A and B are shown apart, each in its own frame.
Chain A
């Protein structure tokens, strides 16, 4: 497998050095210990503002480091590729962004992320910092039951970081920020698919095998296999397979408005994402659901995996207002 890296061991720290070099006005990369670093907003801590931190394995870029900046995250904790960061990073990030109003931990529902953030929250509270947590779990491919670790956190995480960031920037309380985070999570659902596997640099070979004429429906973002494997189909059929479970799970009704997020998994070009977007627009139109806002591109990825995910977020005036609020991060910028 060919990769544009210096070595598998240095890929995360080399990429962080790149972010530091090119975005010094937005963020700073801070070393926690010999192995671990965090990405902190340049002007953190912002006095009186709730700090927003997130984190997870690397390999999902631009999430989360690319979302650090005005109107979105105050810090991000990158782990090794596809491996949750450690509590030391989350504790350091929590301390670095606490402007006196408390800190919200935005956690994707994966066992490792949840356990490490839990330990970090316990440590931060022991140091007198007020911490609230939101665990995103929007992936309809996973049955939410006693028999699974619960639905995974995927595309909604990106939208949540933006929307809640918009509220936090105005000086809202930790309780208010956490309430809005829960609302975004409750109003959004996602599902993804893969045309290819991906290769973790340290492993050197694809995480799973996928024959040329097959695809995985219901994948997560770590190269873990999906719920089922089916024969390759047209984009129209694939979009239907992803959109229908989302629409049904959300209970979207005629006359409602949504934010439609068509996300690339890392190895799929924008032209194909717009093919999917076109099919999605037809499906929503046939149900009389309006696409009031949209995001198309690769924002929550799985290394070089080819494939896409669809996220639909039911919009109301409050969510629309904070989605539209100014943001300035390496990966998202508007209004300023």
Chain B
């Protein structure tokens, strides 16, 4: 069963719910190494996305994701707005005109999103950012695709790899974003951006389980 536009809308709605539920948690993670607003900003952005969803609900997947991206850019601010906005805009370009996403399409979509984040943020793996959750997720999905694991398992393995990548940010020294100002004091904290990235991929796996 491929991912349909209806699934995409359910995925986005689930992200909004999950980010709202984790608003305090993300903000707590952001307080010691950032400026304590990641949960607040992401919650505000996805609330605005939910308001816009009815206008694109019957369109192709690319159009839905494009609306998510432009709305995040226009409402979130901070670093997360341009980074997640760019991720969804690149994902929308990779899924433009499509009404069904199969395994290879999902891999292609995440690859485009990750490339967008790396280009916009000039970030590489190992710098304690969302890239550290997305990179292993993409690798796990590619492997699952080669093994013909099926879409549901591919999404779950991607989500699990993102979770492992997120936890692996704890001992890292931040070299990008506001956390980098702390130097050694950033070590020992889980990156909030990697955490929200995992929550989004987990929401996709849960939607298509």
Q: Chain A: residues with CB nearer than 8 A to chain B?
A: 33, 35-36, 57, 79-88, 110-112, 115-116, 118-119, 141-143, 146-149, 152, 200, 202-203, 207-208, 220, 222-225, 227
Q: Mark B171-209, 1 if CB is under 8 A from A, else 0.
A: 001011110111101000000000000000000000000
Which residues of the other chain, A, contact B82 by a CB distance below 8 angstroms?
87, 112, 115-116, 118-119
Which residue in A84, A119, A203 is a CB contact (below 8 Å) of B40?
A203
Interface of B is mostly: helix
Q: Are A115 and B121 in contact (CB under 8 A)?
A: yes
Q: Are A149 and B74 in contact (CB under 8 A)?
A: no
In the complex, what residues of B have CB within 8 A of residue A82's CB?
A: 35, 37
Q: How far is the CA of A86 from the CA of B82 in the complex (A)?
A: 8
State how many angstroms separate the Cβ of B44 from the closest Cβ of chain A: 8
Q: Which residues of A contact B182 (CB under 8 A)?
A: 224-225, 227
Return 27 A-B CB contacts under 8 Å, by A number: A35-B48, A57-B77, A79-B78, A80-B77, A84-B79, A86-B73, A86-B81, A111-B121, A111-B178, A112-B79, A112-B80, A116-B81, A116-B82, A119-B73, A147-B180, A147-B183, A152-B181, A200-B40, A202-B37, A202-B40, A203-B27, A203-B36, A208-B31, A224-B35, A224-B178, A224-B182, A225-B185
Those 4 A-B pairs whose CB atoms lie nearest each other, nearest first: A115-B82, A112-B78, A148-B180, A112-B79
Q: B183 to A148, Cβ gap below 8 A?
A: yes
- Tell me the complex Cα distance, A143–B182, Å: 10
- Are B77 and A149 neighbours in the complex by a CB distance under 8 Å? no
Complex Cα gap A148–B178 (Å): 8
**Beta-carbon contact of A200 and B36 below 8 Å:** yes
Q: Which residues of A contact B44 (CB under 8 A)?
A: 80
Q: Given A143-B183, A152-B181, A200-B36, check contact A116 B176 (CB 8 Å).
A: no
Whether the Cβ atoms of B177 and A149 lie closer than 8 Å is yes
Contact A115 B83 (CB under 8 A): yes
Task: Please state if B175 and A147 are interface contacts (CB–CB under 8 Å).
Answer: yes
Chain B residues whose C-beta falls within 8 Å of the C-beta of A88 in the assembled complex:
73-74
Report B-chain residues with C-beta under 8 Å of the C-beta of A84. 77-79, 81
Chain B CB within 10 Å — which of A79, A111, A118, A200 has the most? A111
Report B45 CB to chain A, min CB distance, Å: 10
Chain A residues near B83 (CB-CB < 8 A) = 115
Structural contact, A80 and B41, CB atoms closer than 8 A: yes
A200 to B35, CA, bound (A): 9
CB-nearest residue of chain A relative to B120? A115
Interface residues of chain A: helix, strand, loop or mixed (majority)? loop
Nearest CB in chain A: distance from B53 CB, A: 16
Best-surrounded residue of A33, A149, A207 (most CB of chain B within 10 A): A149
**Which residue from A35, A83, A119, A224 sits with its C-beta under 8 Å from B41?**
A83
B75 within 8 A of A: yes
Q: Do residues A207 and B35 form an inter-chain contact, with CB atoms below 8 A?
A: yes
**A224 vs B135: C-alpha distance when bound (angstroms):** 28
Q: In the complex, what residues of B have CB within 8 A of residue A81's CB?
A: 37
Question: B150 within 8 Å of A by Cβ?
Answer: no
Instruction: Digitize B59-86: 1 where CB-to-A-CB distance is under 8 Å, 0 elsewhere.
Output: 0000000000000011111111111000
Residue of B nearest to A146 (CB): B175
**With A115-B82, A143-B183, A203-B40 known to touch, is A222 a contact of B77 (CB < 8 Å)?**
no
When the two chains form their complex, are residues A111 and B77 in contact, meaning their CB atoms are under 8 A apart? no
Count of B residues near A, CB < 8 Å?
A: 34
Does A148 lie within 8 Å of B175, measured CB to CB?
Answer: yes
Q: Min CB distance, A288 to chain B, in Å?
A: 33
Chain B residues, Cβ within 8 Å of A141: 181
- B34 at the binding interface (Cβ < 8 Å): yes
Expressed in whole angstroms, the Cα–Cα distance for A257 and B138 within the complex equals 56
Q: How far is the CA of A33 from the CA of B175 in the complex (A)?
A: 35
Chain A residue at minimal CB-CB distance from B39: A203
Does B183 lie within 8 Å of A227, measured CB to CB? Answer: yes
In the assembled complex, the Cα of A152 lies from the Cα of B175 at a distance in Å of 14
Q: What's the nearest-Cβ distance from chain A to residue B143, in Å? A: 31
In whole angstroms, how far apart are the Cα atoms of A223 and B36 in the complex? Answer: 9
Given the known inter-chain contacts A148-B183, A227-B183, please indicate yes or no for A35 contacting B75, CB distance below 8 A. yes
Residues in A neighbouring B97, C-beta threshold 8 A: none
Cβ–Cβ contact B181 & A149, under 8 A: yes
Chain B residue with the shortest CB-CB distance to A147: B175
How far apart are A311's CB and chain B's nearest CB, in angstroms? 18
Decide: B81 and A112 in contact? CB cutoff 8 A: yes
Contacts of A80 in B (CB 8 A): 37, 40-41, 44, 77
Select one of B77, B177, B185 contacting A85, CB under 8 A: B77
Q: Which of B40, B80, B181 contacts A148 (CB 8 A)?
A: B181
Contact A208 B77 (CB under 8 A): no
Q: How far is the CA of A88 from the CA of B85 in the complex (A)?
A: 13
Which residues of chain B come closer than 8 Å to A148, judged between CB atoms? 175, 180-181, 183
